[in-house]
Amino acid sequence: MSGKLIILSAPSGTGKSTLVQYLLTRPFDLEFSVSATSRPPRGNEQNGKEYYFLSKEEFQKKIAQNEFLEYEEVYPGCYYGTLRSEIDRISAKGKNIIFDVDVLGGLNIKKQYNGRALAIFIAPPSLEELKKRLMIRGTDSPEMIAKRLEKAEFEMSFAPQFDVVIVNDDLEKAKKATEEVIFNFLEK
Q: What is the pTM of this model?
A: 0.86
Query: What is the 3-class SS of the chain, one letter each residue?
Result: CCCCEEEEECCCCCCHHHHHHHHCCCCCCEEECCEEECCCCCCCCCECCCEEECCHHHHHHHHHCCCEEEEEEEECCEEEEEEHHHHHHHHCCCCEEEEEECHHHHHHHHHHHHHHEEEEEEECCCHHHHHHHHHHHCCCCHHHHHHHHHHHHHHHCCHHHCCEEEECCCHHHHHHHHHHHHHHHHCC
Contact 81, 56 (CB under 8 A): no
Give the model confidence (pLDDT) of 78-131 as tens digits. Answer: 999 999 999 999 989 999 999 998 898 899 999 999 889 999 999 999 888 888
Q: Identify the pLDDT of residue 178.
A: 97
pLDDT reading at 26 higher than 70: yes
Q: Identify the pLDDT of residue 2.
A: 65
Give the model confidence (pLDDT) of 139-158 as tens digits. Answer: 888 888 888 889 899 999 99
Q: Which domains does the chain have, with CATH numbers?
A: 5-186 (3.40.50.300)
Q: Report d(CA 5, CA 95) in Å as an integer.
A: 9
Contact 59, 70 (CB under 8 A): no
Average pLDDT over residues 60-89: 92
**Which tops the pLDDT comparison, 105 or 75?**
105
Average pLDDT over residues 34-44: 93
